[in-house]
Structure 1
Amino acid sequence: MFSLQFASDTGTVPPERCLFGIMLNVSALLGIATMYVRYKQVFYLNLEEAAILKLNKAGLVLGMVSCFGLCVIANFQKSTLIVMHVVGACLTFGVGTFYMIVQTILSYKMQLTKKSVFRIRLVVLLWCAASIVSMFISSVILYSGWYGVDLIQKLHWNSNEKGYSIHMTSTVSEWSLAFSFLGFFLTYIRDFQKITLHVVVQLDGYSLNCTNPQFTDEPRQPISGNL
């Protein structure tokens, strides 16, 4: 019978562990870039709204912490240092959920007439919350000791084993939680269609070795290009 594994179980042994770490580190970097662009978008659309600006800053901090947790998951595998792995998971999914809450509130406050994006994000947020509750309850039951010890390091399950159904519930909930996060980021597509990014490089000297004080007082021509 088919047995589903936890997301972390797919990256416990080499070479899968190496690819797992690379993938999550790259995902964390892309997540930070996405959250920063979203932060700047909200900032420039609400320059005179103090409450929204404070909420926006809080969202950025929460998002950065969540991405840091993803790096912890990537570099502290479940089979090597389980405590740090769990800490990373709590930062990623726990703090990440608060990031989703902040962005959902911002969507409600910013879209005064058409609230379709807010409704979509609210549905995804509820999906995320339901996955967290389901995963937490099933994990507590599974690792309570009723079904054996050291189950947290167990990678392969048989359908005839005691606790298999609880394991499957916990596993499906974890994958569901991960996909809810991905789904939330996909809701940014429509907002980001209204953004054009540019890279601007400004020279502060005539050479790489020194800076001419007079040079900084002269009009400088930015070196720019599309991103």
Structure 2
Amino acid sequence: MWWFQQGLSILPSALVVWSSASFVFSYVTAVLLHHVDPLVPYISDTGTTPPERCLFGIMLNIAALLGVATMYVRYKQVGTLNPEEPKILRLNKAGFVLGIISCFGLCIIANFQKSTLFSMHVIGACLTFGIGAIYILVQTIISYKMQPGIHGKGIFWIRLTVLLWCASSIASMFISSVILNSGLFGMGLIQKLHWDPQENGYTFHIMSTASEWSLAFSFLSFFLTYIRDFQKISLRTEVLLHGHNLYYMHQQLQADDQEMPITGSI
């Protein structure tokens, strides 16, 4: 049995692989069609112009669904392992709500590109990355409280490292974006698709775009830490048949309907 076939580890694995593919495929398509510059464009810029915009939107919507499924399984796992810990249970519920909001933000990004409705796209980015960073923080705190009885200290330190990576990427992107859009280098630079390295503000543009890519892959790296946890989870379905066969059930329902008295008046 392969490692991704153990338990439900296929969920975080599929989330990471599919999300990475959505970024890479749209980037390659946009570069080949000369819609963006090859050197570190904004992730959303690679999904601004057709045909890559359609690919970007469809794949991100599917990634959001995989994210919801992964976060729900994590929520049920933590609740099952800590039924008598009210603090962990409260954090677990808060984390699940934050995760759902972050996935909803990803849907907004997928359906409102920068070229269509920029304000909605920014709101989606804030929900995805901002609320998503808080989700990572909550899960890191939960990991701290669950060690060493439920899992080892190593997984906590890995998640803490990813959290610091995420926080530094957010700080770098925020500072560079604020400077870039302060008006010192011109207006509307955030939506500019093609840059000349000699232009004013190019350095801050590269800092902002590189930070965005770093932030995205810090999120994906965090979900990789779920794989070992999910290997211990199995999903079973149970089918209950109320009768000897389906035809018997259908006949019994018809008999019950015929025996029911009909009352009323016209």
Q: TM-score range by the shorter chain?
A: 0.7 to 0.9
Q: Which runs of 4+ in 1 moved over 6 A?
A: 210-213
Q: Deviations over 1:186-226 (max 9, x none)?
A: 0001111111112345568945xx7999xxxxxxxxxxxxx
Distance change (3 Å), C-alpha of 1:212 and 1:51? farther
1:91 to 107, 127, 146: 127
2:77 to 41, 58, 69: 41
Map of 1:68 onto structure 2: 104
Structural mapping, 1:1-227, within 5 Å: 3-112=39-148, 114-201=152-239, 206=249
Structure 2 Cα separation of the partners of residues 75 and 16 of structure 1:
13
Structure 1 Cα separation of the partners of residues 73 and 91 of structure 2:
15
How big is the alpha-carbon RMSD for the aligned residues of Structure 1 and Structure 2? Answer: 2.0
Structure 1 Cα separation of the partners of residues 241 and 66 of structure 2:
28
Distance change (3 Å), C-alpha of 1:211 and 1:28? farther
CA positional deviation for 1:56? 0.5
Distance change (3 Å), C-alpha of 1:169 and 1:211? farther
Distance change (3 Å), C-alpha of 1:83 and 1:203? farther
User: 1:172 is paired with a residue of what secondary structure?
Assistant: helix
Map of 1:220 onto structure 2: none
How many residues get paired? 211
Q: Deviations over 1:103-132 (max 9, x none)?
A: 001101111263100000000000000000
- State the TM-score, normalized to the length of structure 2: 0.75
CA positional deviation for 1:86? 0.3
Preserved contact between residue 204 and residue 211 of structure 1 (Cα < 8 Å): no
CA positional deviation for 1:161? 1.1
Map of 1:224 onto structure 2: none
Gaps (5+ residues) in structure 2? 1-36, 244-248, 257-266
Structure 2 Cα separation of the partners of residues 178 and 211 of structure 1:
57
- State the TM-score, normalized to the length of structure 1: 0.88
CA positional deviation for 1:156? 1.0
Structure 1 Cα separation of the partners of residues 189 and 113 of structure 2:
16
Q: Deviations over 1:130-188 (max 9, x none)?
A: 00000000000001111111112210111111111110000000000000000000000
Distance change (3 Å), C-alpha of 1:141 and 1:200? farther
Q: Deviations over 1:46-102 (max 9, x none)?
A: 111111111111110000000000000000001110000000000000000111011
User: 1:199 is paired with a residue of what secondary structure?
Assistant: coil
User: 2:237 is paired with a residue of what secondary structure?
Assistant: strand
Structure 1 Cα separation of the partners of residues 255 and 126 of structure 2:
50
Gaps (5+ residues) in structure 1? 214-227
- Which one is further off, 106-115 or 21-30? 106-115
